[in-house]
Structure 1
Amino acid sequence: MSWKSLFSKAFAANPNRLHFAAHSHHLWPDAAYSGHMAACDDAMALADHKWDKIMGPVWSEAQGHIAAELKLPDPQTIAFAPNTHDFLIRIMSAIPAHPVRVLTTDGEFHSFRRQMDRWSETGKVIVEPVAADALVEKAQTGDHHLIFASQVLFNSGTILDGMEQLAGLARPDGPWVVIDGYHGYMALDTDLSPFADMIFYMSGGYKYAMAGEGVCFLHAPPGYAPRPPVTGWYAAFDDLALPPGEIGYAPDGRRFLGSTFDPSGLYRFNAVQAMLRKVGLSTAVISEHVAKLQTYFVGQDPLPNMVLLNPLDENPHARFLAYKGQNAASLHASLTDRNIVTDVRGDVLRIGFAIYHDIDDVDRLIAVIANMP
């Protein structure tokens, strides 16, 4: 079965493109365009009053979709922001220790790593990066205020093992456990229900949720960081009538909100979620489709001089294949010249698969690689 028709606008805009970077920037389905237009329509029709709708039914609908996907017991624990970095800043601001001792993996994304490096320069944090497979054991020492790890490492595709064990270490007075789910949300079936009251989980719509930028979210467990010092006026949206000098906070996930934001991402997210449900495309169904394409690609051995960092087995797998080799950058550049979009990080070429691919697309990619000089 083909689902290409769901992405007709993206294909029409660049008909000859082969987009194998769904893990980096997912092509927008037509539903995302419709959602974006709905945001514009509401802005035109409602003007100032659009916020009643955005912070009401639009917000609640988006929370409901995320809670259902992650099996969270309470959608109200979810807050939204333009990016996950905003949430990191607010979480860190709420940790009273100085310096903050941070345990993390040695494969975190540039944004987190850069911020930690800069804070390390100022003495605000002491960061201890370890290999992903050593994280749980190291966390049990109790020497850290914050444990931060990606559900799926962005570079290698390694899937975090031990999320529940990490959650078991979390306490409202520390340590706090933050899971960056950007490469896990809607790529892996994820059930947070056993430890939803113990961990922070953040992700966004840019990748597998197919909703574009500007719609990131945080699940904040009750009782953790009730009053983040880095805050915006939306965090007191329920208490705008408080007397001057009283700093109120929403009692739920909204305590992590900032200030005025572009709401169009929420509209896109809701529209895409509605589309996926209408056509029966759950995370499991998409993952099964992607797994078949990945298996076919790997079976053809198209990159014999590169090492596949995340081999296929019977376990859940990232939505991309990570090939390491000295020619990663040059291969990426050559593919780009041929209007084939992949992604490179240093000496790792990442090839991402999606619901808008079929076997013919994979064959085209393999043929181009085989005929490169």
Structure 2
Amino acid sequence: MYKHLYRRFLEAHAQELHFACHSHHYWPDVSRDAHLQYWDDSCQFVDDKWNYIFSKKIPHAQKLISEVLHLSKPEQIVFAPNTHEFVFRLLSSLDWNKKVRVLTTDSEFYSFDRQINRLAEFPNFEIVKVPTLPIETFNARFEKEMASGPWDLIFVSHVFFNSGLSCDVESFAKKAPANAIFAIDGYHSFMAVPLSLSAIEDRAFYIAGSYKYAQGGEGACFMYVPSGTRHRPFHTGWFAELSHLSAVGNQVGYPTDALQYAGSTMDFSALYRLIAVLEKFKSEGLTVEKIHGFVQKNQELFLAELQKKPHPLVNPQSLLRGPASAHHGHFLTFELPSTEKTQEMVKSLAKNHLKTDSRGTRLRFGFGLYHDENDVRKAVQALFI
């Protein structure tokens, strides 16, 4: 139904069933033209490129993202080439001269988890990780831990990267201690699982990007910064002084908008691609709700086909799925007996032209707009070849 959006990628992989679109998503054709447009604009504007990007392209991207997330202040979105920059800026906004307490989960993506594991080696950092499993009790357990504060930073994913399971981040934001920074990692739900930030936009930081389901490729990450935020992250860059570069001296000032979390020079071709994809989806009437419904239908077909012919490893019993399946991410995750078995399975499926991916003992099947029912049935059949 939507294969026409991905003609170039599908032609380049005509013999492959790409069900790794959780990890690496095909890019819509419009992203190629946008990439070339960045070169053309760089040629046209040369020294004036930054002014053009910050006055035209960034506001455009901010508006499109705000429409998706139901945000009333698009100017409170700031961009960076990766989420780790934002993670460390959030951490560097805290007072490291005292004890720093961070509440999170055992299922956060590596860009955050690796960083806090390293900081946990310092005596003044205390990191508490709430297990996501069993998911049926996770929301209650996380809220209980939040209430046990105080916390300096609370960081939690909307959809967990290693399972596809989701949690109630809106409720968390409303109940989080007022003096703690509350941050949502939305990378694995943005443009996939519906979420409105309208009720918590004055409370929650939100981090995501274009690499996964926004389908613009790597390099365009963003963070929503609640208005009224007045932070001075010590991990900072010259973009935060764009408005008064001529007056820069020894004093380090910070803007009052989202640029207080800005970094430095980046390649904005990814922003062009992101804009093009979001505009294309908009013109096609592809809201997040519609995309989510399309993917859910194919996921249910995949599971129904597995019910007909159960696989010894990939079956309903090994599936990680919570009670709120309507808000499950766009990949199905199966817990296999060992990492070795999982890697063997990935390699075996690849030989059968079925591309999947894994994390440890968990085998993941990603679902996208470029799959139809025939693709889903072929994917299940490939398990038995």
Query: CA separation of 1:324/1:151 partners in 2, compared to 1, >3 Å: closer, same or farther?
Result: same
Query: CA separation of 1:314/1:340 partners in 2, compared to 1, >3 Å: closer, same or farther?
Result: closer
Moved more, 45-54 or 344-353: 45-54
1:64-103 correspondence runs (5 A): 64-97=63-96, 98-103=98-103
What is the alpha-carbon distance in structure 2 between the residues aligned to residue 304 and residue 187 of structure 1?
30
CA contact (8 A) 2:240 2:261 kept: yes
Structure-2 residue corresponding to 1:40:
39
CA contact (8 A) 2:298 2:372 kept: yes
1:106-117 correspondence runs (5 A): 106-117=106-117
CA contact (8 A) 1:20 1:353 kept: yes
Structure-1 residue corresponding to 2:125:
125
CA contact (8 A) 2:41 2:49 kept: yes
1:309-320 correspondence runs (5 A): 309-310=320-321, 315-320=326-331
Q: Which residue, 160, 164, 176 being the options, matches 2:171?
A: 164
Could you tell me which amino acid in structure 1 is paired with residue 383 of structure 2?
I
What is the alpha-carbon distance in structure 1 between the residues aligned to residue 152 and residue 325 of structure 2?
35
What is the alpha-carbon distance in structure 1 between the residues aligned to residue 155 and residue 72 of structure 2?
23
Q: Which residue, 208, 214, 219 being the options, matches 2:219?
A: 214
CA RMSD of aligned residues (A): 1.6
Query: CA separation of 1:357/1:246 partners in 2, compared to 1, >3 Å: closer, same or farther?
Result: same
| Residues 1:250 and 2:264 are matched in the alignment | no
CA contact (8 A) 1:198 1:221 kept: yes
Please report how far the alpha carbon of residue 151 of structure 1 lies from its aligned counterpart in structure 2 after TM superposition.
0.5
CA contact (8 A) 1:239 1:248 kept: no
SS of aligned partner of 1:245: coil
What is the alpha-carbon distance in structure 1 between the residues aligned to residue 167 and residue 47 of structure 2?
44
Please report how far the alpha carbon of residue 94 of structure 1 lies from its aligned counterpart in structure 2 after TM superposition.
0.8
Please report how far the alpha carbon of residue 44 of structure 1 lies from its aligned counterpart in structure 2 after TM superposition.
1.6
Structure-2 residue corresponding to 1:4:
3
Structure-1 residue corresponding to 2:293:
288
What is the alpha-carbon distance in structure 1 between the residues aligned to residue 328 and residue 370 of structure 2?
18
Structure-2 residue corresponding to 1:22:
21
CA contact (8 A) 1:215 1:266 kept: yes
Please report how far the alpha carbon of residue 314 of structure 1 lies from its aligned counterpart in structure 2 after TM superposition.
5.7
CA contact (8 A) 1:32 1:269 kept: yes
Deviations 1:218-263 (A, max 9, x none): 0011233432221101011112122522322222111111111000
Structure-2 residue corresponding to 1:305:
313
Please report how far the alpha carbon of residue 270 of structure 1 lies from its aligned counterpart in structure 2 after TM superposition.
0.6
What is the alpha-carbon distance in structure 1 between the residues aligned to residue 147 and residue 76 of structure 2?
27
Listed as ranges, the gaps of 5+ residues in structure 1 are: none
Q: Which runs of 4+ in 1 moved over 4 A?
A: 311-314
CA contact (8 A) 2:150 2:177 kept: no
Listed as ranges, the gaps of 5+ residues in structure 2 are: 133-137
What is the alpha-carbon distance in structure 2 between the residues aligned to residue 90 and residue 313 of structure 1?
33
Please report how far the alpha carbon of residue 336 of structure 1 lies from its aligned counterpart in structure 2 after TM superposition.
2.0
CA contact (8 A) 2:302 2:380 kept: yes
Moved more, 90-99 or 145-154: 90-99
Aligned-residue identity in percent: 37
What is the alpha-carbon distance in structure 2 between the residues aligned to residue 349 and residue 314 of structure 1?
18
Structure-1 residue corresponding to 2:135:
none
What is the alpha-carbon distance in structure 1 between the residues aligned to residue 75 and residue 322 of structure 2?
38
Structure-1 residue corresponding to 2:270:
265
Could you tell me which amino acid in structure 2 is paired with residue 143 of structure 1?
P
Could you tell me which amino acid in structure 1 is paired with residue 126 of structure 2?
I
| Residues 1:362 and 2:376 are matched in the alignment | yes
TM-score, normalised relative to structure 2: 0.92
Structure-2 residue corresponding to 1:58:
57
What is the alpha-carbon distance in structure 1 between the residues aligned to residue 312 and residue 325 of structure 2?
22
| Residues 1:325 and 2:336 are matched in the alignment | yes
CA contact (8 A) 1:78 1:217 kept: yes
Structure-1 residue corresponding to 2:161:
154
| Residues 1:228 and 2:239 are matched in the alignment | no
CA contact (8 A) 1:343 1:349 kept: yes
Query: CA separation of 1:249/1:311 partners in 2, compared to 1, >3 Å: closer, same or farther?
Result: closer
CA contact (8 A) 1:237 1:250 kept: no
CA contact (8 A) 2:230 2:256 kept: no
CA contact (8 A) 1:239 1:249 kept: no
Structure-1 residue corresponding to 2:148:
141
Structure-2 residue corresponding to 1:351:
365
CA contact (8 A) 1:79 1:256 kept: yes
CA contact (8 A) 1:6 1:30 kept: yes
Q: Which residue, 342, 350, 372 being the options, matches 1:336?
A: 350
SS of aligned partner of 2:88: helix
Deviations 1:162-188 (A, max 9, x none): 5323333243xx211111001111111
What is the alpha-carbon distance in structure 1 between the residues aligned to residue 323 and residue 26 of structure 2?
24
SS of aligned partner of 1:152: coil
1:192-203 correspondence runs (5 A): 192-203=197-208
Deviations 1:189-241 (A, max 9, x none): 11111110111110000011011000000001123343222110101111212
